[in-house]
Amino acid sequence: MVRVLSLIWTLALSIGVTSVSFFYVRDEIKHGFPFSFAKDTLNGDGTSGFNINYWSIGFDILVWWLLFSLLWIIIKNYVLELD
């Protein structure tokens, strides 16, 4: 049986992976992995900023959460055989 606490830990892990992908996975001007959710913009006054798509961030977190939850269920039930 999967407990809610383990799903909260996988959610925290997915938020962490999404935030790391924002800073460390860059394709020139796009940020985020596996979905590009932000890109650098050049403002009219010469300063740079970010254009962030919040729907894509949410979808990215959801994909990582499902992946880590499935991985945790497989490891817990079939590899470690814990109750």
- Bridge partner list, 27: 30
Question: pTM for this one?
Answer: 0.70
Residue 64 lies in a domain: yes
Domain count, the chain: 1
Domain assignment present for residue 43? The answer is yes
**CA distance linking residue 62 with residue 35, whole number of Å:** 11
The reply to whether 80 falls in a domain is no
Q: What is the pLDDT of residue 12?
A: 92
- Encode pLDDT of 43-65 as tens digits: 666 556 666 677 878 888 898 89
Distance CA(7)–CA(15), nearest Å, equals: 12
pLDDT at 4 over 70: yes
The verdict on residue 82 lying in a domain is: no
Domain that holds residue 68: 4-75
36 vs 58: CA distance, rounded Å = 12
